[in-house]
């Protein structure tokens, strides 16, 4: 018996003995375990590379770490171009695209590729995070498991959300925040149907993390200073500050990305980007790698250790010099992160966001304290992280629960809610998109919590285009049109095209009904005498389903022509569009 036939027999047995609901629960646990293993693996590989470089003969006795990013980026470049022959992608953005336009189908090479490229990027000092690659790898595992067991597209999308929750739960050991992240970022519905699989995946991933890493946490921090009611105005100010820092972070990302598009060759991007990162690392060492050590030192109140060795070491006894250096980290973390991406590195933006937020929160607390007040620098460091996450990712609930779980309690819940709400509201009103979603939002391909828009996004234009229309030519006589087109067609609409297949007009049966039986006009009346323009046009390469629906609404038409490469391609009818929409809505909400 072949492996294929045995697997087929297993699938038949599964259909008979395990309900779809219970099977999804089983798969969610499996996905959670896979995501947990991915997160543990990617962390261990990265830390091994960092330890090897830090303790190696070449770099142990001198400060040459600032040349490491060039080496890391070069290794990633060589592997991607000559071994894997793939392009680098933003992890979360590529997953969102797969959800909206590919029904959650993710290629299997994305299972292992992030496990190689991300550790090389971060381990050699690239200023990005590991969470995005871990989510990407876990999501690819989830997608391919779903294909293996013939899971439908809706459940496949849910399992990808489970993979994301599992990766976050494993890395941060924060299962509740992980579930909320999947709901906020991947626009999953918060129902019992989705909540239980997310819960199972999150729990199984965090158990996997505990099994391999023990009780080790990213931040061994316990709150020692309670929230004071008198600090509310300062947290409001922090919320405003993190909002504008989030806007800066996002705009700087796209500005630098656009700048690097001027380089035609990838090796030029690599050289320029690597050297730029090296210069920044020389002057601001905390930009090296992910930056968890920097956050930990700030939470411990050890800002000297957090800043590392800088050209201004002799002046760090002056608190204002320390504040300036921390402001430098706040400003340059976004630049270093985006430069790493643009130069060809692989990583995520979640953890750099936390680093930038921690620096900003600590700066705000230090400045406040210099004016005679007494606020907790560690508390502001934590809340600053949450404010940046809420603003940059548009994920305020994730930010609140992540910091609450990291600190092991909810003593900071009030300032977290206050700062995150202000940061999110200001950022959301000034920026409708995030780094994850901008490209998809601009093309109308982004899934949201709006069910109508989501259903339209999931629909494919090709599925509603009809091409069984008889075309006619402008110089065709009425008689010839009636005999060669009208008499042989079951449609009442006729596209008029020229010799180059350009659509020059349309004729509806009602246009000729009153004189179609007048034989005296058969030779004297031509198509271009009676044709008229279409109410509107659907551009195949440009218009998404939301735009198509709006064009029908604005034009009050029942049929609209589709142009592909400027040529006539077919028609979309309102009746077929609405029928397809209703079917997709039923499938999506079932």
Q: Residue 204: which CATH number?
A: 1.10.3080.10
pLDDT band at 56, cuts 50/70/90?
low
Domain annotation covers residue 580: yes
pLDDT digits (tens, 9 = 90+) for 487-499: 888 888 899 999 8
Residues 308 and 370 in one domain: yes
DSSP character string of 60-126 = SSS--GGGHHHHHHHHHHHIIIIII------HHHHHHHHHHHSTT---THHHHHHHHHHHHHHHTT-
For residues 201 and 287, membership in a common domain is answered with no
Give pLDDT, residue 336.
Answer: 93
CB-hemisphere CA count at 13 Å for 251?
10
- Pair 19, 53 in one domain: yes
Between residues 506 and 93, which one has the greater pLDDT? Answer: 506
**553 or 249, which is more confident:** 249
Non-local (6+) Cβ contacts of 295 within 8 A are 219, 354, 355, 358, 381, 385
- Are residues 283 and 203 part of one domain? no
- 231 has pLDDT over 80: yes
Q: Name which of 24-28, 351-355, 462-466, 535-539 the model is least confident about.
A: 462-466
Whether the pLDDT of residue 58 is over 60: the answer is no
CB 39 within 8 A of CB 138: yes
147 and 291 share a domain?
A: no
**Residue 42 belongs to domain spanning:** 15-213
Residues 136-151: tens digit of each pLDDT: 999 999 999 998 888 8
DSSP H or E run through 342: helix 319-342
Beta bridge partners of 493: 508
> 578's torsion region: left (phi>0), alpha (psi -120 to 50) or beta?
alpha
pLDDT tens, residue by residue, 148-170:
888 888 888 889 999 999 999 99
Per-position DSSP letters for 267-284, written without gaps between them: HHHHHHHHHHHHHHHHH-
Pair 518, 584 in one domain: yes
Domain end call among 408, 424, 446: 446
Lowest mean pLDDT among 69-78, 319-328, 435-444, 522-531: 435-444
**Domain co-membership, 567 together with 460:** yes
Choosing from 421, 446, 471, the residue where a domain stops is 446
Residues 375 and 466 both lie in one domain? no
Q: Is the pLDDT of residue 425 over 90?
A: yes
With respect to residue 1, please indicate whether it lies within any of the assigned structural domains. Answer: no
Confidence of residue 339 (pLDDT cuts 50, 70, 90): very high
Sign of torsion over alpha carbons 444, 450, 452, 454: positive
Helix (H, G, I), strand (E, B) or coil at 432: coil
Q: How many structural domains is the chain composed of?
A: 3
Residue 479 has pLDDT above 50, yes or no: yes
If pLDDT is split at 50, 70 and 90, which confidence band does 238 have?
very high
Residue at a domain's end among 213, 239, 274: 213
Residues 423 and 487 both lie in one domain: no
């Amino acid at each position: 018996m072949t492996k294929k036939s045995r697997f087929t027999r297993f699938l038949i047995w599964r259909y008979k003995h395990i309900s779809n609901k219970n099977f999804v629960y089983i798969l969610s646990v499996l996905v959670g375990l896979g995501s947990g293993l991915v997160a543990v693996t990617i962390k261990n590989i990265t830390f091994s590379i960092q330890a090897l470089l830090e303790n190696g003969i070449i770099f142990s006795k001198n400060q040459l770490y600032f040349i490491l990013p060039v080496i890391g980026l070069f290794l990633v470049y060589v592997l991607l171009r000559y071994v894997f022959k793939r392009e680098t992608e933003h992890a979360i953005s590529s997953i969102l695209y797969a959800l909206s336009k590919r029904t959650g189908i993710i290629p299997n090479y994305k299972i292992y590729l992030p496990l190689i490229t991300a550790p090389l990027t971060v381990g050699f000092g690239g200023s990005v995070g590991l969470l995005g690659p871990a989510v990407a790898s876990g999501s690819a595992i989830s997608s391919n498991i779903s294909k293996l067991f013939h899971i439908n597209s809706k459940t496949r999308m849910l399992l990808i959300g489970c993979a994301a929750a599992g990766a976050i739960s494993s890395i941060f050991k924060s299962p509740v925040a992980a579930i909320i992240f999947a709901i906020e970022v991947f626009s999953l519905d918060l129902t019992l149907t989705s909540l239980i699989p997310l819960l199972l995946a999150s729990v199984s991933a965090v158990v996997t993390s505990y099994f391999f890493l023990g009780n080790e946490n990213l931040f061994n921090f316990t709150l020692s200073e309670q929230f004071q009611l008198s600090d509310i105005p300062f947290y409001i100010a922090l919320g405003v500050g993190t909002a504008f820092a989030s806007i800066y972070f996002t705009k700087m990302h796209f500005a630098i990305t656009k700048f690097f598009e001027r380089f035609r060759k990838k090796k030029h991007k690599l050289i320029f980007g690597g050297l730029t990162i090296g210069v920044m690392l020389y002057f601001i060492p905390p930009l090296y790698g992910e930056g968890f050590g920097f956050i930990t030192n700030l939470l411990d109140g050890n800002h000297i250790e957090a800043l590392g060795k800088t050209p201004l070491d002799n002046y760090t006894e002056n608190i204002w010099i320390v504040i300036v250096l921390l402001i430098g980290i706040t400003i340059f973390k976004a630049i270093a992160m985006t430069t790493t991406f643009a130069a060809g590195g692989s990583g995520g933006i979640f953890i750099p966001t936390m680093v930038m937020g921690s620096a900003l929160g600590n700066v705000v607390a230090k400045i406040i304290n210099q004016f005679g007040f007494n606020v907790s620098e560690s508390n502001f460091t934590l809340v600053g992280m949450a404010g940046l996450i809420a603003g940059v990712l548009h994920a305020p609930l994730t930010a609140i629960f992540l910091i609450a779980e990291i600190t092991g309690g909810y003593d900071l819940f009030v300032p977290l809610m206050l700062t995150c709400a202000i940061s999110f509201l200001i950022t959301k009103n000034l920026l409708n998109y995030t780094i994850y979603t901008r490209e998809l939002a601009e093309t109308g391909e982004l899934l949201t919590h709006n069910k109508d828009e989501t259903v339209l996004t999931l629909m494919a234009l090709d599925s509603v285009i009809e091409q069984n229309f008889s075309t006619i030519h402008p110089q065709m006589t009425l008689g010839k049109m009636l005999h060669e087109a009208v008499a042989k067609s079951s449609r009442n609409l006729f596209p008029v095209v020229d010799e180059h297949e350009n659509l020059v007009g349309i004729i509806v049966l009602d246009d000729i009904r009153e004189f179609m039986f007048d034989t005296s006009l058969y030779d004297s009346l031509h198509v271009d005498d009676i044709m008229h323009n279409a109410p509107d046009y659907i551009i195949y390469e440009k218009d998404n389903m939301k735009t198509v629906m709006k064009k029908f609404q604005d034009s009050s038409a029942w049929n609209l022509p589709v142009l592909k490469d400027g040529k006539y391609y077919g028609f979309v009818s309102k009746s077929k569009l609405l029928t397809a929409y209703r079917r997709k809505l039923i499938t999506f909400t079932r």
